Amino acid sequence: MLAPFLTGFLVGGGLIIAIGAQNAFVLRQGIKREHVFAIALFCSVSDALLIALGVAGLGALITRVPWLLGAVTLFGIVFLVLYGVKAGRRALAPQGAEIGAGATLSLQAALATSFALTFFNPHVYLDTVLLVGSLAAPYAGLERWAYGFGAASASFSWFFALGYGARLLVPLFAKPAAWRWLDAGIAVVMFAIAGKLALWMIG
């Protein structure tokens, strides 16, 4: 059981560590120390659910219903562009660049944003359901689920480490300029992912 678990952990970790919309949001909320536990838990459980569906074989269904992934992609593009615009405005507004300054997200708003960044991003389905799910093919029975548990464990480890580890950056973000750079970077990431998704849809 150990070998499938480690394989799943390495596969899941390798996919999730890449900079993306979800990670950028968790990082920002971690630095602000807002709803870190709830956000990290939501993202982790969401990944675990999608991984479980992939290991169970949902990936085959998605490939047979192409319009479903296309609809999610369209919603994702719109949301990422709007979120990128919002981050860009924060980057251009010095008065909102200090820790704790500006609008504070309620728990409901934070979880709603986490939901959108997770389930409106087709890359999440491609990574967790299709890729992680397809790599479970060599395993059967309990070994298959050990592999899935390993991949899900990587998500839990990463999101909680990112959310709470971000606090180490608080001294750096005591400077307004650091917040402007962070938000500018988040805006670039959002626009880049939206553009990539748009090209993927067209192609």
Q: How confident is the model at residue 96 (pLDDT cuts 50, 70, 90)?
A: very low
Domain of residue 163, residue span: 2-202
* Number of domains the chain contains: 1
Q: Regarding predicted confidence, which is higher, 100 or 5?
A: 5
**Structure confidence by residue, pLDDT tens digits, 113-128:** 999 999 988 778 877 8
Classify residue 106 by burial, with Cβ atoms within 10 Å: 0-12, 13-18, 19+: exposed
**Structure confidence by residue, pLDDT tens digits, 31-40:** 999 999 999 9
| C-beta of residue 189 within 8 angstroms of C-beta of residue 35 | no
**Structure confidence by residue, pLDDT tens digits, 39-84:** 999 999 999 999 998 888 766 666 677 676 677 678 778 878 888 8
**Structure confidence by residue, pLDDT tens digits, 148-202:** 999 999 999 999 999 999 989 888 877 778 888 888 888 888 888 788 878 877 8
- Which whole number is the average pLDDT over 15-28? 83
Rounded to two decimals, the pTM is 0.79
DSSP line for 100-162: T-SPPPPHHHHHHHHHHHHHT-HHHIIIIIIIIHHTTTT--THHHHHHHHHHHHHHHHHHHHH
Tokens representing 57 are 């074989």
Task: Please tell me the predicted confidence (pLDDT) of residue 97.
Answer: 45
Q: Regarding predicted confidence, which is higher, 101 or 43?
A: 43
